Structure 1
């Protein structure tokens, strides 16, 4: 990691430490007080705090921080599948594996590094992974924290196979909210969605905004590039911007399902909401040598 010294000049810093399992973690900071923590276990963002040190992402009090179990919270990366189909484990294996630092990342746009603290990670399949999903790939991830506290994740997946493959994908983003019943999601109105509570039946969103009174597990299709999550009690709005990710997954398990999830507290569904930038309905197809890029940008702003 040689990014720290240069990053300080722009009001940001990068530091590396190890967790209790000996896995590297990277702390991205701005000198205004915002921070983000990224684990090489799954390439997962575990924490994102604003300038006042307030945690913006939810992590369960019962989360298991030991590979190969994915951590319940933060932003797990679901690849090469989102959901549960075929022989692959639910939501794929990328979130359960140990990633490495990418020593030679390909160039990105100047705006992806200027004035930001960032870390570049790399995941390649092991022999075990290739048995489960027989396709060779390079998965590069850049996690950046901007000077204003905005968080961005850029995934680049390249097919280094001799044959085509396809995959689905999701940034499973657990937002921390004050009370799920006081939250609304805008940007999904009039969209078609697949309802996972009704055997993936297709419906059209009728409301001006999505609010929560019971379990929700939906994939909104072909959404716009901006989604907003309003938290009335905390008077703040999360703004989600995405590229290369046509769908939006919205999930809250509600009371009954929460009690059945081992690594989630019985009442914790009230303080969390997953809103994911995703590619689910139409898998992404890559021919040999092709590369896909999926970008997620998160910011938070005060709201009335």
Structure 2
């Protein structure tokens, strides 16, 4: 699936006289990969699900919400961080190819391979050392358990790239059909963004946009108002922003911009907050943690992406601070 060598022992070469380099380490009995820039920004990626479970700025401030009851031992999908959704968003009982799969598919509950640091694609400055570092992770049928292979018996290859920069975080996915027949998929990056007070949060970039409200019965499609979105109750919506993927979706808190999300080939944005329903979720803690998070999720989940034999699809997001 990939030809990039896996050489964990050579991730951090340091030569006298060179500017400081990003440090990459494999920890927790080879179950996590961490990266730290010379200026202090850091990420930690759990190989189970290739889930980003921590992203901190140079001051050490955490930018992602991770439930204090999140299971990090590979027994279930992680509640928080940035889990990956593939090849189905939610469940799709009417879609034969994915009907038997668990909610949100198998990518978030499979152990990925760490393919190494992309030194040729990591940026460096002359004075302060590395300004970014790019890590690659891979998933193929050989990484899946037997049950998942039976439920989705297609030949595929995924490469997930995580780039930590001084001003933000970039995540991208390459999906390749390695088989001889076509198949369809959906993909989403389920970002749990950390905020201080959800009552002070507004989201712009979704104005006058079509959205599906998954909390209505039956599920309804409508157009959002021309004002920014605020959260005051349980929210579960799939937006197709009118401005397209390149137009920023901005999370503001207390009048100050906190996150800006720009997408590439990911046409939808899911906005989710469980509100007080969080108390009924066994892996969500603290119970009032919904006040400190908002999920703004870039994805291709409205309809299906189809790949013919040998074809490749790419998509990604940039979250800027």
TM > 0.5 between the two?
Answer: yes
Distance in 1, Cα, partners of 2:14 & 2:122: 11
Does residue 1:46 correspond to 2:53, yes or no?
A: yes
Distance in 2, Cα, partners of 1:25 & 1:37: 7
The gaps in structure 2 that reach 5 residues or longer are 1-7, 93-98, 125-131
Q: How does 1:154-165 map to 2 (within 5 A)?
A: 154-165=172-183
CA contact (8 A) 2:206 2:241 kept: no
Q: How does 1:38-77 map to 2 (within 5 A)?
A: 38-77=45-84
Runs of 4+ aligned residues of structure 1 deviating over 6 Å after TM superposition are none
Change in 2 beyond 3 A, CA 1:241/1:6: farther
Map of 1:4 onto structure 2: 12
Change in 2 beyond 3 A, CA 1:193/1:6: farther
- What SS does the aligned partner of 1:181 have? helix
Match of 1:228 among 222, 247, 250: 250
Does residue 1:118 correspond to 2:134, yes or no?
A: yes
Change in 2 beyond 3 A, CA 1:149/1:10: farther
Distance in 2, Cα, partners of 1:119 & 1:68: 24
Match of 1:262 among 266, 282, 289: 282
Q: How does 1:24-103 map to 2 (within 5 A)?
A: 24-85=31-92, 86-102=99-115
Map of 2:304 onto structure 1: 283
Q: Calculate the TM-score normalised by the size of structure 2.
A: 0.85
CA contact (8 A) 1:23 1:41 kept: no
Map of 1:134 onto structure 2: 153
RMSD: 2.2
Distance in 2, Cα, partners of 1:90 & 1:9: 47
Aligned length in residues: 291
- 1:105-162: CA deviation from partner (whole Å, max 9, x where unpaired): 8x9xx7x53332121111112343221112110000111112x242111110100111
- What SS does the aligned partner of 1:102 have? strand
Q: Calculate the TM-score normalised by the size of structure 1.
A: 0.90
- 1:60-100: CA deviation from partner (whole Å, max 9, x where unpaired): 11111121311111100000111122221111110111111
- What SS does the aligned partner of 1:134 have? coil
CA contact (8 A) 2:23 2:37 kept: no
Q: State which structure, 1 or 2, has the greater radius of gyration over its C-alpha atoms.
A: 2
- What SS does the aligned partner of 1:4 have? coil
The gaps in structure 1 that reach 5 residues or longer are none
- 1:238-262: CA deviation from partner (whole Å, max 9, x where unpaired): 011110100000000011x111111
Distance in 1, Cα, partners of 2:14 & 2:263: 28
